[in-house]
Chain A
Amino acid sequence: MNLRTLLEEKKSSIVKKWVHVIFEQYPPDSTNFFLTQKDRFLNPVGHAISEGARDIFNALVDDSEPEKFYPLLNDIIKIKAVQDFSPSVAISFLFLLKKVIRVEAGAEIARRNLTPELEALESRIDQLILLSFDIYSKFRERIFEIKNDEFRRMTFRLLQRANLICEIEGEKTTPGEETVITNK
């Protein structure tokens, strides 16, 4: 038996445990809501994280290409980037997977001498962690961008009225995409 077969066997218990510990990072009063409300529109956080965790685990076991992980991590980290987490805690859910795999399948892995395969798997999780840093930074940057865009939309007409925006002949000026602001 190789690690892949073992992990496939233990998939449901590992994913369940992983999702559980991810939600333990939220206040205890909220953990239950995120875990039990199954309607994806009434519990978008619970749905995105539960489904995302399952898909990430499947992709890891299937040895998928890195591109496959990007949208999966994106959907989870996009949410975590606006919640009450420090950057380190926001992406710590991937570290938790390593821990869960060792708890759920560690003994079996040791017994079957699959430790080198586990190390390889953990390296791949480490790669996902690095990718998560990028994604987290991207969304934090995005928050500042949308703030900036909103501010520009709000002030566009003011600037236009104060003749502080120059329009280039033949080109339409739209809020957020103004061409030049003069030093009037």
Chain B
Amino acid sequence: MAVQKPEELSKVVYTFPSTPWMDTPVEIKKGIFCWGNKEKSLKAVGFPNPRQWSVTDEDWKLPDNWKEIFIEGLRERVDKYRSFRLFLDICVRCGACADKCHFYIGGGDPKNMPVLRAELLRSIYRKYCTTSGKIMGKVAGARELTTSVIKELWYYAYQCTECRRCSLFCPYGIDTAEITILIRELVNLLGLNIEWIAGPVANCWKTGNHMGLLPHTIIDIVSEFKEAIYQVTGLKVDLSYNRKGAEILFVHPSGEYFDPNGNVTFMGYMMLFHEIGLDVTLSTYSSEGGNFGFFTSNEMAKRLHSKIYAEAKRLKVKWILGGECGHMWRVWHQYHNTWFGPVDYLEEPVSPITGTKFENAKSNKIVHITEFTADLIRHGKLNLDPKRNDKYVVTFHDSCNTSRAMGLFEEPRYIIKNVCNNFYEMPPQTIRENTFCCGSGSGLNASENMELRLRGALPRGNAVRHVRDKFGVNTLANICQIDRATLQTLVDYWAKGVAVRGVHELVGNALVMKGEKERTTDLRGDPLPGKEGE
């Protein structure tokens, strides 16, 4: 929000100045960008050109040969990734993706049209990697790489949540998120990242999780969860860590240890595992399902991901169960096999309770917790009392990655319908593969970029508001930790009165456990319906 001087205020201009995008220099605005990375965060993972710099400074202290680094990096990647070259070459600028980005829909900045955001890089590619661009320059859509262009690339690469809604509509199948990913990778070569990503990456590299939690802290937090479950159910629920020989390794986002919405979702997992007597263990080293390295570079994503399989091997488990996380599932489904190939030391996952073979996980040996729980419910293995969730009128937000990257639509809905009596869908153009992003994914869940996040969350918030007003929806269920941590804030602005909940929190509430006392409260300590006076 710019503050105008009195003489500017007196000149009321009612229309927007019109200049072609290449001639419109980037204006870095407060509320839109995240703070730049710290020197120590890049040093921790051995990334190039670490230094202290500030987004608001004119001089970003780029290395002397910044242009050479960027162009060489671009050429190297164009040669290395056939898909990248194809995506840069084949776009005909038809505009099918233009109005599909939540940031564009909510804000109207043309450079948030996926086609134009990609064009920011394509123009450089044309100039330095194609003959037509070299010769004809601007006529062929090419432009010089300048420090202002570097700033523009950085600014807009961190205004894309890599949600891939635009890709759904591209007639050529261009994955525009891949272009954002590569822009981020290229600016990283110059030591330009955001701290909200670089910090968690450094933490994860050092301790195994984004939050930087050490083993004793994790165990301590879980003991608090055990106590909370005991208060609600009267049952002593245990959970093992680093136990060799367990059948299953459970991996989940570490945010669930700290975020209040995540805490209760995690308690839901614990209760479920206890109830069915699952032979499961967790790891304090492989303690992060999420992968902020994925928002940094291909190499960093691979480095962070490798710990999960290393830990599965060390603990000699048979297969892996994954928690309610978003981008973790994109990494598993779309990158894992490219990086490591099918794993030969794990077994094809089979539910020890129902005998169901998860054939969809034959290759990468990981099952989503909602697939697992839905299968339990389908086989009648859980005693559920949905009335305990009667105060919740629920709708379901499909997270971008679990929907568009793995097609997980039915399982969470099936679970919700079995643990809650009141469920309403948002309009079809806003759910399933058409789902609108929360506006905070891909590492943009900071607070300094709140205006950007609010714009991005407007399409989702608008649909939530609609079901709130039409059906009395008061609960937005989802299966992503970034959603749980950030959507509450955004919904508080766009559709006040709606609470964000993890699906397994609702499972934990409805689950009737063997030997439990008569429950009077839900997992948050709030009275169950009909138990208000107790």
Contacts and interface: CB of A to CB of B under 8 A. Distances in A.
Given A37-B99, A82-B455, A153-B260, A25 B16 contact: yes
A147 B450 CA distance: 7
A45 B106 contact: yes
Contact of A88 (B9, B104, B113): B9
B259 interface: yes
Band of interface residues on A: 35 or more
B233 to A, nearest CB: 18
Contacts of B524: 174
Nearest to B447: A147
B429 interface: yes
A143 B459 contact: no
A35 B18 CA distance: 18
A24 B16 contact: yes
Contacts of B15: 21, 24-25
B110 A45 contact: no
Interface in A27-51: 27-31, 33-34, 37, 39-45
B131 to A, nearest CB: 29
B3 to A, nearest CB: 7
Contact of A44 (B116, B451, B454, B462): B462
A158 B258 contact: yes
Contacts of A151: 447
B427 A154 contact: no
Contact of A83 (B9, B455, B459): B455
Interface residues of B, number: 53
Contacts, number: 132
A85 interface: yes
Contacts of A31: 16
B451 A45 contact: no
B48 interface: no
B105 A43 contact: yes
Contacts of B338: none
Interface in B429-468: 429-430, 447, 450-451, 454-455, 458-459, 462-463, 466
B105 A27 contact: no
A116 interface: no
A109 B396 CA distance: 53
A149 interface: yes
A66 interface: no
Interface in B210-245: 220-221
A156 B263 CA distance: 12
A92 B12 contact: yes
Contacts of B488: 150, 153
Interface string B81-112: 00000000000000000110000111111100
Contact of B106 (A40, A44, A154, A161): A44
B525 interface: yes
Contacts of B493: 78, 82, 142-143, 146
Interface in A119-172: 140, 142-143, 146-147, 149-151, 153-154, 156-158, 161, 172
B203 interface: no
Contacts of A146: 450, 489-490, 492-493
A87 B9 CA distance: 10
Nearest to B526: A172
Interface in B13-54: 14-16, 18, 21, 29
A156 B260 contact: yes
A95 interface: yes
Given A86-B1, A153-B260, A27 B109 contact: yes
A175 interface: yes
A79 interface: yes
Given A33-B99, A142-B493, A157-B263, A84 B110 contact: no
B259 A153 contact: yes
Given A88-B4, A149-B492, A158-B258, A45 B458 contact: yes
B2 interface: yes
A30 B108 CA distance: 6
Contacts of A45: 105-106, 108, 458
Contacts of A26: 16, 108
A99 B14 CA distance: 11
Interface string B237-266: 000000000000000000001111001000
A79 B463 CA distance: 15
Contacts of B486: 150
Nearest to A48: B462
A140 B263 CA distance: 30
A45 B108 CA distance: 9
B450 A41 contact: no
Contacts of A6: none
Contacts of B451: 82-83, 143
B108 A34 contact: yes
B485 interface: yes
A96 interface: yes
Chain A CB within 10 Å, residue with most, of B108, B450, B486, B490: B108
Contacts of B107: 82-84
B104 A30 contact: yes
B14 A25 contact: yes
A29 B110 contact: yes
A87 B16 CA distance: 15
A86 B3 contact: yes
Interface string A34-76: 1001011111110000000000000000000000000000000
A45 B109 CA distance: 13
10 contacts: A24-B14, A29-B113, A41-B429, A83-B107, A83-B108, A143-B493, A150-B489, A156-B260, A161-B220, A174-B260
Top 9 nearest A-B pairs (CB, nearest first) are A29-B110, A44-B462, A30-B108, A82-B454, A150-B489, A26-B108, A24-B15, A175-B260, A28-B18
Given A82-B451, A84-B108, 5 more contacts: A21-B14, A42-B429, A45-B105, A45-B108, A83-B108
